[in-house]
Amino acid sequence: MTEATGIVGEFLSLKEGTDADLLAMQCGDFYEFFAEDAETVADELDLKVSQKSSHGSSYPMAGVPLDDLTPYLSALVERGYRVAVADQYETADGHAREITRVVTPGTHLETSDDDAQYLAAVVREGGSGRGDSGGSDGDDATYGIAVADVTTGQFLVTEQSGADATSAALTELYKFDPAEVLPGPEVRSDDDFLDEIRERTDASLSLHTTEAFAPGRARHRVREQFGDETLESVGIADAEAAVRAAGAVVSYVDETGAGVLASMTRLQSFDESAYVDLDATTQRNLELTETMQGDRKGSLFDTVDHTVTSAGGRLLREWLQRPRRSRAELGRRQSAVAALAEAAMARDRLRETLGDAYDLERLASKAASGSADARDLRATQETLALLSAVGDLVADSERLADSPLAEVLDRPDREAAAELAADLDEALVEDPPGTVTQGGLIRPGFDPELDEIIDDHEAALDWIEHLPEREKERTGITHLSVDRNKTDGYYIQVGKSETDAVPEAYEQIKTLKNSERYVIDELAEKEREILRLEERRHELERQIFERLRDRVAARAEVLQETGRALAECDALASLAAHAVRNDWTRPELSDGRELVVEGGRHPVVEQTTQFVPNDLRMDDDRQFLIVTGPNMSGKSTYMRQAALITLLAQVGSFVPARSARVGLVDGIYTRVGALDELAQGRSTFMVEMQELSNILHSATDDSLVILDEVGRGTATYDGISIAWAASEYIVNNVAAKTLFATHYHELTVLGEELPSVQNVHVAAEERDGDVTFLRTVEDGPTDRSYGIHVADLAGVPDPVVDRSREVLDRLREEEAIEVRGSDGGSGTTQAVFDLSSGQFKTGGNGSSAGSEGASDAGPAADAGTGSGSEQLATDGSHAVEGSPADTGPTLDPEVAEVLDELRDLDVNETPPVELMAKVQDWQAELDEE
């Protein structure tokens, strides 16, 4: 194909000079895409493709109107594309174009989503990241992470180091859920780490220049952006990995042309030790911001979010994802919530007032980028003015005035906010147009020169308005009018019946069916004057507006501080409103290792069902609770509500309980079921064990651990062994507050042997075969799970349910079970569970009478007949063993004594540990024989 020239050639040349995926090039009143870009955009956005000829060749072309680029750009960026934008400008030879910005998922300002939109950079120094297994960290490494929200100007940095640094870094990225991640040079080659980022977030991975991550250059960019002393003041001067990540983010935002650097005024180092550790698994299991199905509805955030501003909702979401550990900070929030809860009328007025607030943090970024229009500045003025109104409202309420809410409103510079609001109000009309090129933005009286131009313009328009009357009187023509259109400009129109009376000075310009159009010298001159005045007015208004916008951008910090204060008021009022509506209570916070809840409820479940409250007491004497009870009885809900009450308390919220005393925790860890992740080569059991491993490595004696079944994904004895050992390890080595729900009733013996372990169970009542789940938690263990009852409720066919009950009854009576064949009963095999081997022993064909006869010998006796028996192991495998031992009258007295003890043993009442000990003793006695 011949090389393209003209517009297409210019497009392809510009595209070659950028690393963006797509290029939108301004061509007059449209942004056009050519060649492969046109086909891609047409497929993604359902645009029509036409053809553009260039030098004998034809190229696909698709375009969008100039003023409609933003929504199309947003759609492309949301799909992960990096889009370069080339704008047109005038030159002496005509038009030229240059790339003015590259819009990426992390630098797109025009987002319609109220949630934070983070751009992140991650750097690794030392170590090698993941170990060979992919399940634990390899060599010690230090990770630097920087996250910036270009829509609000928020900029945060941190470092993670030590043996668990890789897991910690991935957890941080999960918490922020960035739209785009810039991996540093050392991270780019770590496919496992990059795969983890893709798995845990929806982020696009973008390669930024290696030079941007260089220590010296990065340090220079950070100091240049935030000030020479910033690194020292926030305590990261020696945190080289964090500085490298921060410098790369600043460089990337600058090079993409987002234009928001002026809004990034404050660098913050977030110390993770100040926050409760919530790993990705825990956030998912507790459904903090979305359900297991990925929906916001039904999450904790959806339940407690009654905010009336987008910034308030964003802040509340952040609080839930990053609970605090500071009693002072949490006490301050609690006191504010308490005051708002008690002052109902003031709270309602506050929320009504805040409902008129716009998102000042995002408006600051738009002003800094030069994309804010007159309506954005008017929204800025109205919201800045609200600060004073909200402050007065709080001051007028005695209860609120004495609360920390007053301190929140004292943080912004009220004088500066009021001054900027007054200046904007003085300059802008009440309802400005949507674009800055239409005119009509500036109030009369604000600028004398503009006022003079407007007066002259109005005088010229007035001259034209009265021209028809003057001409009618002068010429005697009755059907004469003056009008204007884009084609002819201003003209005089005369009906055809009176064209003979038209003066010679009238110059005809168009003939219509029933009239003629004319122009006169005075009208043409007045039109030229009007056009000059309109052009001058629009240009002067644009200049005045841009000065206003620049002034707003220069006061970005005032906007951000005011926005954060109003958002905090909104979030606190939301928590108060929810607490009042749902009868929540203020929890008592302590530094002890306790969690005492009276009448606790699940904050989400109570919204949709009649909830049965439950008590919970955990302290040094009840550090580890083994929770047993029927399926579907509420064990999982009980444990999750304990975690959520703890989390809400460390958000500063009230909690769903009659009363609560919460010892502050450093982390909440959960293991609540697992889905197969076969695509990553991990089965359910592997995921379960990895989650358990993370808990055992990460939890401390100040943590809260929730274990909903451990070891269920493998064979019974393996599972019991793992659950048993993990329980002992948590009790003896970790000492975390732990709730452990299990169907392994054998574990309840730990409650009898270890002083800090206690058994609790969810009660159920059975009458005439019907089971009622009482939903109440009581002390002590249970020995039944009512699984068959749940199967019945789930609609399992009646024959299966009935047969299950029959098998269960025979197992409880330690009787042989007939293994039924497809012939309905003939040729069945008998099986008895052999307690000593942990296996089913099956015999040959027999009758039910033979089955019962076999059971008389006791569970350890061989139920088979003939020369040998077949064992059916619990995992379904088969093994053939030799002839059964002779248990006739010739038995050795010592052997007979063992059998007598076995017959007398009540298996149902003997704890598993004691039972296994007895079996070992019997084996030892028999070996001696």
Q: What is the pLDDT of residues 192-226, one digit of tens each?
A: 899 989 988 889 999 999 999 999 999 999 999 99
- Residues making up the chain, counted from first to last: 929
DSSP string across 401-453: HTSHHHHHHHSS-HHHHHHHHHHHHHHB-SS--SSTTSS--BPTTS-HHHHHH
- Cα distance between residue 29 and residue 47, in whole Å: 17
pLDDT of residue 441: 92
CA distances from 491 to 461, 465, 487, 501, 516 (A): 14, 12, 10, 17, 10
Local confidence band at 94 (pLDDT 50, 70, 90 cut-offs): confident
- Cα distance between residue 501 and residue 803, in whole Å: 111
Contacts of 438 (CB under 8 A, 6+ apart): 538
Local confidence band at 56 (pLDDT 50, 70, 90 cut-offs): low
- Cα distance between residue 775 and residue 635, in whole Å: 9
Local confidence band at 554 (pLDDT 50, 70, 90 cut-offs): very high
pLDDT higher than threshold 90 for residue 381: yes
Q: What is the pLDDT of residues 738-782, one digit of tens each?
A: 999 988 888 888 988 899 999 998 887 766 666 666 678 888 887
- Residue linked to tokens 């790339």: 99
Closest C-alpha among 280, 296, 106 to residue 197: 280
- Cα distance between residue 294 and residue 280, in whole Å: 14
pLDDT higher than threshold 80 for residue 826: no
861 in helix, strand or coil? coil
Give the percent of the chain with pLDDT over 70. 82
Mean pLDDT computed over every residue of the chain: 85
pLDDT of residue 162: 83
Closest C-alpha among 716, 717, 781, 777 to residue 911: 781
Q: What is the pLDDT of residues 225-262, one digit of tens each?
A: 999 999 998 889 999 999 999 999 999 999 998 889 99
pLDDT higher than threshold 50 for residue 78: yes
Cα angle 70, 71, 76; round to 5 = 95
Contact of 178 with 121, CB cutoff 8 Å: no
Contact of 308 with 351, CB cutoff 8 Å: yes
pLDDT higher than threshold 50 for residue 862: no
pLDDT of residue 819: 67
Contact of 907 with 915, CB cutoff 8 Å: yes
- Residue linked to tokens 């340090």: 219
Phi, psi of 220 (to 5 degrees): -65, -45
Helix (H) / strand (E) containing 759: strand 757-767
pLDDT higher than threshold 70 for residue 364: yes
Out of 37-51, 638-652, 858-872, pick the least confident.
858-872
Q: What is the pLDDT of residues 640-676, one digit of tens each?
A: 999 999 999 999 999 999 999 999 999 999 988 654 4
Decide which of 832 and 150 is more confident: 150
- Write down the H helix ranges in 730-780: 750-753
Contact of 115 with 100, CB cutoff 8 Å: no
Cα angle 59, 62, 68; round to 5 = 155
Q: Burial of 877 by CB count in 10 Å (0-12 exposed, 13-18 middle, 19+ buried)?
A: exposed
pLDDT of residue 615: 96
pLDDT of residue 825: 47
Beta strand spans in 825-911 (E)? 829-834, 839-845, 869-873, 878-881
Quick one: the chain helix, strand, coil %, rounded to 5? Answer: 45, 20, 30
Displacement of CA 815 from its chain's centroid (Å): 54
**Across-strand partners of 64?**
31
pLDDT higher than threshold 90 for residue 878: no
pLDDT of residue 134: 40
First to last CA, the chain: 96
Local confidence band at 866 (pLDDT 50, 70, 90 cut-offs): very low
**Across-strand partners of 347?**
none
Local confidence band at 113 (pLDDT 50, 70, 90 cut-offs): confident
pLDDT of residue 823: 55
pLDDT of residue 573: 98
- Residue linked to tokens 């929030």: 333
pLDDT higher than threshold 70 for residue 848: no
- Cα distance between residue 129 and residue 187, in whole Å: 8
CA distances from 670 to 279, 589, 706, 730 (A): 9, 22, 5, 13
Decide which of 479 and 866 is more confident: 479
Q: Please give the structure tokens belonging to residue 350.
A: 């506050």
What's the rounded mean pLDDT across residues 845-863?
37
pLDDT of residue 735: 95
Q: Please give the structure tokens belonging to residue 470.
A: 């003057």
- Cα distance between residue 902 and residue 860, in whole Å: 8
Contact of 652 with 332, CB cutoff 8 Å: yes
What's the rounded mean pLDDT across residues 707-731?
84
pLDDT higher than threshold 60 for residue 853: no
pLDDT of residue 128: 66
